[in-house]
Amino acid sequence: MSTTTGKLGLIKPGISDEVQQTIIDLASNFQKLDDVAEIYMSNAPTQGNWKVGIRVWKSSPNIGDYVGWINIRQGEACPKWNPLFQYNMGDKIVLINDNGHYYECLQTGRSGPIEPSFPTTAGGSINDTQGGTSWIPTHSYKLNEVVFPSMDNNRFYICTVSGVSGATEPVWSTVDGGTVSDGMVVWTGYRIVKWIEKGTSALFRNFGKID
Q: Could you give the 3-state DSSP secondary structure of residue 79?
A: coil
* Interatomic CA distance for residues 13 and 23, integer angstroms: 9
* Interatomic CA distance for residues 29 and 63, integer angstroms: 37
* Interatomic CA distance for residues 46 and 204, integer angstroms: 10
* Interatomic CA distance for residues 59 and 205, integer angstroms: 16
Torsion sign across C-alpha atoms 15, 19, 21, 23: positive
pLDDT digits (tens, 9 = 90+) for 76-120: 999 999 999 999 999 999 999 999 999 999 999 999 999 999 999
Q: Does residue 34 have a pLDDT over 80?
A: no
pTM attached to this predicted model: 0.85
pLDDT digits (tens, 9 = 90+) for 133-178: 999 999 999 999 999 999 999 999 999 999 999 999 999 999 999 9
With bands split at pLDDT 50, 70 and 90, how would you rate the model's confidence at 36? Answer: confident
- Cα distances from 107 to residues 93, 104, 113, in angstroms, run 14, 9, 17
Question: Among residues of the chain, what percentage have pLDDT more than 70?
Answer: 100
- Cα distances from 79 to residues 41, 101, 107, 113, 200, in angstroms, run 15, 12, 18, 17, 14
Closest listed residue to residue 155, CA positions, set 137, 182, 178, 138: 178
Backbone angles phi, psi at 141, to 5 degrees: -115, 140
Q: Are 56 and 40 in contact (CB under 8 A)?
A: yes
Residue-level length of the chain: 211
Q: Are 74 and 200 in contact (CB under 8 A)?
A: yes
Closest listed residue to residue 111, CA positions, set 97, 95, 129, 98: 129
With bands split at pLDDT 50, 70 and 90, how would you rate the model's confidence at 22? Answer: confident
Q: Does residue 52 have a pLDDT over 80?
A: yes
